[in-house]
Amino acid sequence: MAKRTVVVTGAGGFIGGHLVSRLLHSRSVQVRAVDIKPFSQWQQIFDTAENLQLDCSRLEECEIATKDAGYVYNLAADIGGMGFMTNNKARCMLSVLINTHMLKAALHNGVERYFYPSSACVYAAAKQQDTKVTALREEDAYPAMPEDGYGWEKLFSERMCRHFREDFGLVSRVARFHNIYGPYGTWDGGREKVPAAICRRVIQAKLSGNHTIEIWGDGQQTRSFMYIDDCLHGIDLLFNSDVEEPLNVGSQELVSINQLVDIVEGIVGLRLSRTYSLNAPQGVRGRNSENTRIKKYFCWEPCIPLAIGLEKTYAWIYDQIVSGRQSKD
């Protein structure tokens, strides 16, 4: 029997690269890895995959990406950390072209199952105004008032997946990710997420001897962070399930940004003097994942402790910095 072709868009990015690696360990699939970036800029690239440089905001290139494919994981998006999202709302929203055209191409080419990674940024802002936030349930996305720009695009694209399933029979699965981190992610240049940014700043403080660190906001804002291995396991469970509604995939280990810095300082054995940039982008005051549904469906939830995941992430970023490498995004 011929191997089933599985498409991963955004394969040159953080989650996409890890997902390609995981899929390649299966003998029953052939992986088609797709990204708009030149191959030299991919976070990870594998010779055993079919690697294509395509712009998935263009319908004709989505048709190429999905030709003869059985499954699609559409991870492509123009995205970064809070600073990028705050200053690039239109660019973030233009990612709607990617999901719209990938859905159309997947339907046209007879794709059996389609995965879309949504975000905790879809949740209503009014429910995230306290650092001691009540964990967000899936139904808290409505009435809709998501994060401007990126959050609106994610919520709209969730609905597109739903209606393609209802109207045309394209089976789709949607995960709402909560702050994924780990090795092989962007760690500088303006698109990095908070855990990578904090690791980089602590490393730079250690190497330079200037034992100070700048924190965006007052450091009291709270989040949960999910290590990449938990993310991949959650994708696998959800993609192969009968769960049709969007589902939280995130850790419930709520920490403040100050506590996040504490953990990284503990890894290094160094205490830094902190300065706070109160006018820098910082997002909502508090956000956490409510995991009742994922535990109900799978008897599982993301469980890798933040301290363990950060230690691995720190070690990888440290190696990049001391070897003189630059982040690829």
Active site positions, annotated = 150
From the CB of residue 170, how many other CB atoms can be counted at a distance below 10 Å?
Answer: 20
* Residues 223 and 194 sit within 8 Å (Cβ to Cβ): yes
* Residues 53 and 41 sit within 8 Å (Cβ to Cβ): no
* Residues 76 and 56 sit within 8 Å (Cβ to Cβ): yes
Q: Between vectors from CA 190 to CA 161 and to CA 183, what angle results, nearest 5°? A: 70
Residue whose C-alpha is closest to residue 185's, from 193, 174, 176: 193
Alpha carbon distance 55, 64 (integer Å): 10
Alpha carbon distance 76, 58 (integer Å): 12
Alpha carbon distance 33, 16 (integer Å): 8
Report the Cα 85 to chain-centroid distance in Å: 13
Alpha carbon distance 192, 249 (integer Å): 20
Residue whose C-alpha is closest to residue 70's, from 118, 113, 121: 113
* Residues 252 and 289 sit within 8 Å (Cβ to Cβ): yes
Q: Is 311 left (phi over 0), alpha (psi -120 to 50) or beta?
A: alpha
Element (H, E) at 164: helix 150-168
Residue whose C-alpha is closest to residue 14's, from 42, 48, 40: 42
